[in-house]
Amino acid sequence: MKTFLLALASTALIPSALLAADNFATPKEAEVMVAKVVKAVGTDWATTLKEITSKDKKWVDRDLYPVVYDMNGKCVAHGQNEKQVGKDLIDLADADGKEFIKERVALAKSKGKFWQDYKFTDPLTKKVLPKSAYCEKASDVIVCAGVYKR
């Protein structure tokens, strides 16, 4: 009986583990989010940046949110941390010391569209995790949205 209950309990955990995976954004969803922001900033710059920073539901999807920088590394919109907006983040480093904003600006200038790996605090788990951000240069800004690697 004890073995049966353990087997039953372990199978009961499988669906919740699978459902938990659905709570995290995919790389394709990050690309779609960035394309949506690029289009929106081209249409209504001020409103889009304000909506992103105010965490408007159309710009936040689980752990996925956009961040917009100018070409000097200044944050102009942030979908999770409004305290970053207006700050020069060019020298910001991740947990490993990687200056990912400096790298992001350089990649935007040289490639236009790219994926970038770094580490960042997951807003859902509050843990520093490996992350990949998809970014596109749109006129004179860099639009990014990232996915956590779990």
CB 90 within 8 A of CB 73: yes
Amino acid letter at 40? A
Q: Report residue 149's pLDDT band, with 50, 70 and 90 as the boundaries.
A: confident
* E strand or H helix at 113: strand 113-121
Task: Classify strands 75-78 and 141-148 as parallel, antiparallel or unpaired.
Answer: unpaired
pTM greater than the 0.85 cutoff: no
Residue 23 is classified by DSSP as T
Q: In this structure, what is the dihedral angle of CA atoms 69, 103, 29, 56, given to the nearest 10 degrees?
A: -20
The answer to whether 54 touches 43, Cβ cutoff 8 Å, is no
The set of residues, in sequence order, having a beta carbon less than 8 Å from that of 60 and lying 6+ positions away, is 79, 80
- Contact call for residues 52 and 58 (beta carbons, < 8 A): no
| pLDDT value for 22 | 65
Q: Class assignment of domain 25-148?
A: alpha beta
The whole-number pLDDT of residue 19 equals: 41
Q: Say yes or no to pLDDT of 15 above 90.
A: no
Percentage of the chain modeled with pLDDT above 90: 74
Most distant CA atoms of the chain, gap in Å: 66
Query: Distance of alpha carbon 62 from its chain centroid, rounded?
Result: 10
Tokens of 64: 């996925």
The separation between the first and the last C-alpha atoms of the chain, rounded to the nearest angstrom, is 35
Rg of the chain taking only CA atoms, in angstroms: 18
* Per-residue pLDDT at 3: 37
User: How do the domains of the chain map onto residue ranges?
Assistant: 25-148
